[in-house]
Chains A and B, each alone.
Chain A
Amino acid sequence: GAGVSQSPRYKVAKRGQDVALRCDPISGHVSLFWYQQALGQGPEFLTYFQNEAQLDKSGLPSDRFFAERPEGSVSTLKIQRTQQEDSAVYLCASSLGQMQYNEQFFGPGTRLTVL
């Protein structure tokens, strides 16, 4: 079946522009995560959804970052007034359940470059 998909795969933005990154999780997956991966580093947690509820947004680096999952399936990560330090790969992952040992399935990521 289809895995997690993300779009666009690559995004170049000028500093100050707003961007929106989309994630399509595996159908039926309850949990959805966003991670940020800087070059040469491991992914870092941004936010978590259980269905449409955003239960944890402790990893969002500033109030310029906003995520939503209004119908409990597709999710969008929005970054307002992008800065150069926002350049990274943004990963989306989904899992069937809500327990710690449920496998997370990752999308290919969106590489954001802010000029």
Chain B
Amino acid sequence: GNSVTQMEGPVTLSEEAFLTINCTYTATGYPSLFWYVQYPGEGLQLLLKATKADDKGSNKGFEATYRKETTSFHLEKGSVQVSDSAVYFCALVVSIGGTSYGKLTFGQGTILTVHP
């Protein structure tokens, strides 16, 4: 089956520190990969995505590269801010036979807290 594994959290950093949240996956088909973010009191929002191997998704200073050889999609940011404090979810969608409707498989989430 399909699954996503995220590094165990929570992660606590000081402002301007470098962030890495690891994500690895297993998939029966060819996946598209996503990072979603949930800010306190808000719903899940798409942060970035990559739909094929070696693609790099980026948004708001965050980046993640789709690595097929290591089945990974690690999230990075060079300098975090207090406002980045949130829960981050790695997720995938698998295309089977060239079609898929977008059923997401999520990791367990990583809580990030950034202190001033």
Within 8 A of A (CB), among B44-76: 44-46, 49, 51
Looking at the assembled complex, report how far the CB atom of B5 sits from the nearest CB atom of chain A, in whole angstroms: 11
Chain B: interface size category: 20 to 34
CA distance A14 to B103 in the complex (A): 31
The answer to whether A1 has its CB under 8 Å from any CB of chain B is: no
| CB-contact partner of A42 in B43, B46, B51, B109, under 8 A | B109
- Point out the residues of chain A lying under 8 angstroms from B103, CB to CB: 33, 45, 48, 56
Q: What bracket does the count of chain A residues touching chain B fall in?
A: 20 to 34
Given A40-B108, A42-B108, the answer on whether A102 and B43 have CB atoms closer than 8 Å is no
CB atoms of A106 and B32 under 8 A apart? no
Contacting residues, chain A, for B42 (C-beta < 8 A):
108
Instruction: Show 23 A/B contacts (Cβ-Cβ < 8 Å), sorted by A.
Output: A31-B102, A35-B104, A42-B4, A42-B109, A43-B104, A43-B106, A45-B103, A45-B104, A45-B105, A56-B101, A56-B103, A91-B44, A98-B101, A98-B102, A99-B101, A100-B32, A100-B93, A100-B94, A101-B32, A101-B51, A102-B102, A103-B46, A109-B43
List residues of A whose CB falls within 8 A of some B CB.
3-4, 31, 33, 35, 40-45, 48, 50, 55-56, 91, 93, 95, 98-104, 106-109
Q: How far is the CA of A102 from the CA of B106 in the complex (A)?
A: 16
Chain B residues lying within 8 Å of A44, measured Cβ to Cβ, are 106
A108 to B95, CA, bound (A): 27
* Interface residues in chain B, defined as those with a beta carbon under 8 Å from any beta carbon in chain A: 4, 32, 36, 42-46, 49, 51, 89, 91, 93-95, 100-109
A104–B42 CA distance with the chains assembled, in angstroms: 15
Per the bound structure, the CA–CA distance linking A98 and B105 in Å amounts to 16
Q: How far is the CB of B109 from chain A (nearest CB, A)?
A: 5
* Chain A residues, Cβ within 8 Å of B32: 100-101
Please give, as numbers and ranges, the residues of chain A lying within 8 Å of B89 by CB-CB distance: 42-43
